[in-house]
């Protein structure tokens, strides 16, 4: 009896998490990796919950998942949003206490709690940033890359200590937007007075 209860609640968790991932337009591959559900079950779940009259349509993403770490550091706006998302993931306990032993995998066997924390982080991010630039799939990529630590890493702003996302091999010290503009103003001020 106990075993079947456990199995039932585990299945329930799996389905709940899959539904939240579907709602955030995650790809089938991602849902499979995080829930362990088969493609067939994900397809049926999608059909029964979203593919019926009156249901809010959720577009089904196709094709490849994002694969570029540089996406998160390319523009100041995306850098800022990546930092916010990473901070939310951290606050909500999505990051494992230490690096998983099988580093290098896209989704190194994280649990339901982490999957749920990622959904909560993404929902908070979308509330805070209405015209968000980072999709749920991109956040999954960001989270995996930060956990592996091979392409991206979490660093503290050299000015205020805020959490930032930086490329692993970045040569300059990381600064948030406001600390960077403060520094630029100070340097411009020094340059101007030196020229006087
Ligand atoms: Zn700062």
Question: Around Cβ 15, how many Cβ atoms within 10 Å?
Answer: 16
Stretch among 6-10, 44-48, 72-76, 136-140 having the lowest mean pLDDT: 6-10
* CA–centroid distance, residue 194 to ligand 1 (Å): 26
pLDDT score at 55: 66
Ligand 1 centroid distance, CA of 178 (Å): 6
**80: CA distance to ligand 1 center in Å?**
11
| Cα 160 to ligand 1 centroid, rounded to whole Å | 4
Around 181, how many Cα atoms within 13 Å sit in the side-chain half-sphere? Answer: 3
What percent of the chain shows pLDDT beyond 90?
56
How is residue 167 annotated by DSSP? E
* Interval 132-149: pLDDT, tens: 999 999 999 999 999 989
Instruction: Find tokens 């006087």 and name the residue.
Output: 196
pLDDT at 111: 80
Task: For Cα atoms 104, 117, 154, give the angle at the middle one, nearest 5 degrees.
Answer: 50
CB 165 within 8 A of CB 147: no
Ligand 1: centre distance to CA 89 (Å): 19
Ligand 1 centre distance from Cα of residue 87 (Å): 13
Nearest Cα to 139, choosing from 96, 88, 92?
88
Q: Tens of pLDDT along 84-134?
A: 999 999 999 998 776 544 444 444 456 888 999 999 999 999 999 989 999
Q: How far is the centre of ligand 1, averaged over its atoms, from the C-alpha of 156 (Å)?
A: 8
- Collect all residues with Cβ–Cβ distance below 8 Å to 97 and sequence separation of at least 6: none
Percent of the chain at pLDDT exceeding 70: 80
Q: Report if pTM > 0.95.
A: no
Check pLDDT > 60 for residue 193.
no
Residue 73 CB contacts under 8 Å (≥ 6 apart), including other chains:
79, 82, 152, 165, 166, 167, 170
């Amino acid at each position: 009896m106990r075993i079947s209860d456990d199995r039932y609640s585990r299945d329930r968790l799996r389905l709940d998490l899959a539904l939240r991932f579907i709602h955030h337009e995650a790809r089938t591959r991602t849902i499979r990796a995080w829930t362990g559900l088969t493609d067939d079950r994900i397809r049926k779940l999608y059909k029964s919950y979203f593919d019926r009259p009156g249901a809010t349509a959720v577009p089904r993403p196709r094709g490849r998942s994002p694969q570029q770490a540089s996406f998160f550091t390319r523009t100041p706006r995306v850098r800022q949003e990546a930092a916010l998302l990473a901070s939310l993931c951290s606050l909500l306990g999505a990051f494992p206490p230490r690096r998983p032993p099988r580093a290098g995998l896209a989704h190194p066997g994280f649990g339901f709690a982490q999957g749920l924390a990622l959904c909560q982080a993404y929902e908070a991010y979308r509330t805070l940033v209405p015209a968000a630039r980072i999709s749920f799939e991109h956040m999954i990529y960001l989270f995996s890359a930060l956990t592996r630590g091979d392409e991206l890493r979490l660093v503290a702003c050299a000015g205020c200590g805020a959490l930032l996302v930086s490329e692993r091999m970045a040569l300059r010290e990381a600064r948030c937007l406001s600390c960077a503009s403060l520094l630029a103003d100070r340097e411009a001020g020094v340059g101007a007075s030196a020229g006087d």
